[in-house]
Each structure stands twice: as C-alpha cells, then as structure tokens.
Amino acid sequence: MQTPISRTGQLWVLGVTALASFMMALDAMVITTAFATIRADFGSRVETLQWTVNAFNLTFAVLLLTGAALGDRFGRRRMFAAGIALFVVASAACALAGNVQALIAARALQGAGAALVMPLAMAILSGAFGRDERARALGIFSSITGCALIVGPAIGGFITTHLGWRWIFWINLPIGLIVIALVLTRLRESFGPAAPLDITGLSLVDVAALALVWSLLRGNAVGWLSTEVVGTLATGIVFAAGFVLWVLRTATPMLPMRLFASRAFASGMAASVLFYAAMYGVLFLLPQFLQTTLGFDAFSAGLRLLPWTATLFVTAPVAGAVVNRFGERPLVVTGLLMQAIGLGWISEIVSPAVPYSALVAPLVLAGVGVSMAMPAAQNAVLSAVAVTEMGKASAAFNMGRFLGGMFGIAALVAEFSATGAADSAVHFASRFAAAMSLAATLSLAGAAAGLVLPARHRALAAAAPQDA
C-alpha cells in the first residue's frame, strides 16, 4: 500500500524531480548548436564528433534498467542523489576535456549518471501521486523537463557564441549541487519490492542493449551488412532472448515480462519508441539545416527552433490534465498524426531558397502534436503497473525512449547520406527533405501503435486493483 504524502510533499517531489530531469535534458540539448565550434577547436571529423552525443546515449540506454534496479534495492532517494552527483562530476570533466576523446569519455560518464536519475525521477514522482492525479503531475513534469528542449538549443548557441562551449557544461555544477541538497532534505526514501538484485538479468540486458545500440551507431560508418554490425546485432538479439528466457524463469525478475501483456503498457511503449525516433532524428538534423543551408549562426538557429519546441510548454500540461477525461488513445493518435503531417509538410517545401517563415506553421503543428502524445503515452505505460513496479516501468520507458532516439538518428542520417556527402546547399536540402519524409513515416507508425491502446474505461477497470 502506498504511504500517503501531504500536498506540500507532493509539490516538493514534483519540483525536485522535474528540476533534476531538466538538468539532464538541458545538457543533451545545449550541445546541439555547439558542434561546429567544438569541431573547430579539436579539429575533429563530424563522424568522430557524433560520439559526443552517442556516448551519452549509449551508456544511458544500456544502464537504465540497472539504475532502476539499484534504486529499488538500495533506496530511490539515495541512488537518485548519487546519480546527480556522478552527473555533476562528469560535467566538470567535459568542461576540462583537452581533446575530443576525453570529451567523449566524459559524456559517457554523464550518461551513466543520467541512467540513475531519469528512471528514478519518474518512479519517485509517480509513487507520490495517486492514479487520478498522476497524469496531471506527469504533464507538468514533462512541460518543465521540456523547457530544456525549448531553451536548450538557444542557450547552447548563446553560451557558445559569448562564453565558449565549455560553459555549457560548467552550468551543471551549481544546478546539480542545489538539486542534491533538495533531494536529501525534501524527499523521503522509498524502495521497490524487497527482492535480491538480479545480477544475471542485469548482465544479460546490459550486454543486449550495448550490442544493439552499438550496431545502430556503427551501421552508417561501416555498412549495415558489415561483419561488425551483423555480428553485434546478432549478439544483441541472442542476449535479449536470453534475458527474456531468464526473467520468465526467475522468481524475482528485474523487468517482469507480464507487463508487456498489458495493451496499455505494450502499445504505449511502441508508440513512444517510434515518436521519439522521429523527434530525436529531426532534432539532430534540423539545426544543421538551419545553419548549413539557410546560413544562420548557432544562436539564431537555436532561436528558430522555438516554434517547434516551445509548444511543449503549453501543450503538455493541458494534455496531462485532460487525459483522464478523454483517455490516452485519442491524444496519442491525434498528436502523432499532427506530427506526421507537420514533418511531411516540411519535407515537401524545403530548399536552399525556402524562407524561414514558411517553416513556422509545420513546426508548430508537429510540436503541438508530439507534445500531446508525450504525457499521454507516459501515463499509459506507468498507469498499467502497480506503484511498487514504477521504477521498472519507468526504466523500461526511458530505455525505449533513448533506444528509439538513437534508432531515429541512425535511420535519418542513413537516409540523409544515402547518395553520398551533402557537398552543397542544394544537395543538403534535398537529403534533409528525404530524412524528414522518413521521420513523418515513423510518426505515422507511432499513431498506428497508439490505436492499440485500450479505451479509457477499460484501462481504468483493468488497472484498478493495482492501487488497492
């Protein structure tokens, strides 16, 4: 039974978890407009520089379930604070990096810290609110976290232009220290089910995730049919199958397979993987299009992402508030159809001569759409499980989100690079259009997955005994 928490306590939980999540998301966003400067400082190739993003995503995705399991075992508040501390130390290492290899290693360490923070933030938040309030809390949480998506590229461009790219990492230190103090003084400790740590399950899923993610990240560089990619992909599939067999047989699995028997959980996960694939792929390429083809500087490019990203701040809280009235399915399906239309619209109009004003309407349409889908999909996944399993469900959701994001980047870059290097503004725009068309297709697939979500009254009836 969930221990009651006061209204003031709930607000502190919401504020602290959202602030920590904001810091993680901000650090992922601020670097998007600093790539050109970092590349010039270190004299590195674009292929190498991609690993400043990939290293973070790789360790984050691989260690997510481990982070959730450690929180369940040793205390969510304790491990939440430890993750933030690791992230702060890694941020300082990023700022002090003397070469691109050191920066990549420090970014990998940041991902490890984030793998502790993100699933535990959602687990702590979801455990503090009852079912009727959870969707609204997640909507507010998403909007605050989404502020990093809104302001991150612009902040990164501003800091890079006026202070230097290293300061995009230094800003994490004061924020992180404040959050750690708040975690230790304002949050109470909570644990997952009293079960031994599943070392075998952790090892199997970590190797599977590492191999699958590696194959995604290396496909463009060495060829999708290369021995390396095929071998790592096969290794990932074998270890993933081994993980499934293990959790089906063990008495205390780290991720019970029965969760996927729930339509709400399984379809919410599928829709999330697909729409995050589209969103992260677009986020990787769009700033480069604005700078390379349309000629904006880093700060100006970041500002011109606002019609897309700023919709999250307005739409996500509203979607979270109305999901209990309309259900998750209408919001997910309608939102992803809007995103597909917006991205498809962009693919039809982009060219070196397109005025930026022509991109505003489709960016807003896509942004409002995905901002509707985000909190609804999160709520579908987290409301399908008991409170004691929130950490596991949150970790699975976040792993799917980042694996989807990396798949989206890999797929869109593969489509972008299909005909060779984009060595002119015309060629860049043409390949960018093809990538946007693929992102629209991924969004449509997400909408199709959302159609499988159960109707609201059925979802509530099925889930009611879990909060008893």
Q: What is the pTM of this model?
A: 0.76
Q: If you average pLDDT over residues 245-263, what whole number do you get?
A: 82
Of the candidates 78, 79, 53, which has an alpha carbon nearest to the alpha carbon of residue 66?
A: 79
Give domain limits for the chain: 7-188+254-467, 199-253
Top mean pLDDT of 58-67, 165-174, 408-417 is at 165-174
Instruction: Return the pLDDT at 94.
Output: 94
**pLDDT exceeds cutoff 50 at 55:** yes
Find all residues with CB under 8 Å of 349, minimum gap 6, and list them: 358, 359, 362
Cβ atoms 79, 120 nearer than 8 A? yes
As given in the structure block, the two tokens for residue 463 are 């889930």
Cβ atoms 400, 61 nearer than 8 A? no
CA 104/CA 57 separation, integer angstroms: 11
| Residue 1's pLDDT band (cuts 50, 70, 90) | very low
Number of residues that make up the chain: 468
**pLDDT exceeds cutoff 50 at 37:** yes
Query: What are the C-alpha distances in Å from 112 to residues 67, 78, 89, 120, 194?
Result: 9, 16, 11, 13, 24
Percent of the chain with pLDDT over 90: 29
Instruction: Return the pLDDT at 67.
Output: 80
**pLDDT exceeds cutoff 50 at 462:** no
Top mean pLDDT of 19-23, 193-197, 345-349 is at 345-349
Q: Which residues of 353-389 are buried (b: 16+ CB within 10 A; e: fewer)?
A: eeeeeebeebbbbbbbbbbbbbbbbbbbbbbbbbbbb
Q: Counting beta carbons within 10 angstroms of the beta carbon of residue 451, is it exposed (0 to 12), middle (13 to 18) or buried (19 or more)? A: exposed
Top mean pLDDT of 152-166, 275-289, 375-389 is at 275-289
Percent of the chain with pLDDT over 70: 91
Instruction: Return the pLDDT at 193.
Output: 67
Of the candidates 3, 114, 105, which has an alpha carbon nearest to the alpha carbon of residue 51?
A: 105
**pLDDT exceeds cutoff 80 at 337:** yes
Instruction: Return the pLDDT at 465.
Output: 39
Question: Looking at per-residue confidence, does 334 or 53 come out higher?
Answer: 334
Instruction: Return the pLDDT at 64.
Output: 75
**pLDDT exceeds cutoff 70 at 248:** yes
Q: If you average pLDDT over residues 409-419, what whole number do you get?
A: 78
As given in the structure block, the two tokens for residue 124 are 């702590």
**pLDDT exceeds cutoff 50 at 325:** yes
Range with lowest mean pLDDT among 66-80, 244-258, 342-356, 371-385: 244-258
Query: What are the C-alpha distances in Å from 135 to residues 41, 121, 122, 329?
Result: 45, 15, 12, 14
- Rg from Cα positions in the chain: 21
Instruction: Return the pLDDT at 188.
Output: 82
**Would residue 416 be called left, alpha or beta, if left means φ above 0 and alpha means ψ between -120 and 50 degrees?**
alpha
Instruction: Return the pLDDT at 331.
Output: 92
Q: If you average pLDDT over residues 243-267, what whole number do you get?
A: 84
Instruction: Return the pLDDT at 435.
Output: 92
- Work out the angle between the directed axes of helices 7-30 and 131-162 (0-180°, nearest 10): 40
CA 118/CA 130 separation, integer angstroms: 20
Instruction: Return the pLDDT at 3.
Output: 55
Q: If you average pLDDT over residues 293-313, what whole number do you get?
A: 82
CA 338/CA 336 separation, integer angstroms: 5
H-helix segments, 75-99: 76-96
| Superfamily of domain covering 7-188+254-467 | MFS general substrate transporter like domains (1.20.1250.20)
Of the candidates 136, 126, 114, 139, which has an alpha carbon nearest to the alpha carbon of residue 26?
A: 114
**pLDDT exceeds cutoff 70 at 241:** yes
Encode pLDDT of 104-145 as tens digits: 999 999 999 998 898 888 788 877 887 777 777 877 887 777
Question: Looking at per-residue confidence, does 82 or 28 come out higher?
Answer: 82
Question: Looking at per-residue confidence, does 366 or 260 come out higher?
Answer: 366
Distance between the two ends of the chain, CA-based, in angstroms? 7
**pLDDT exceeds cutoff 70 at 402:** yes
The SS3 of residue 319 is helix
Q: If you average pLDDT over residues 291-320, what whole number do you get?
A: 80
Instruction: Return the pLDDT at 110.
Output: 94
- Work out the angle between the directed axes of helices 199-222 and 390-416 (0-180°, nearest 10): 10
CA 160/CA 144 separation, integer angstroms: 23
As given in the structure block, the two tokens for residue 193 are 């089910």
Query: What are the C-alpha distances in Å from 175 to residues 53, 118, 149, 170, 183?
Result: 21, 16, 17, 10, 12
Cβ atoms 86, 78 nearer than 8 A? no
CA 128/CA 456 separation, integer angstroms: 22
CA 232/CA 214 separation, integer angstroms: 7
Cβ atoms 145, 153 nearer than 8 A? no
Q: What is the mean pLDDT of the chain?
A: 83
| Residue 468's pLDDT band (cuts 50, 70, 90) | very low
**pLDDT exceeds cutoff 80 at 261:** yes
Find all residues with CB under 8 Å of 290, minimum gap 6, and list them: 296, 300, 301, 304, 305, 356
Question: Looking at per-residue confidence, does 250 or 330 come out higher?
Answer: 330
Q: If you average pLDDT over residues 165-190, what whole number do you get?
A: 89
Residue 269 has a CB neighbour count (10 Å cut-off) of: 25
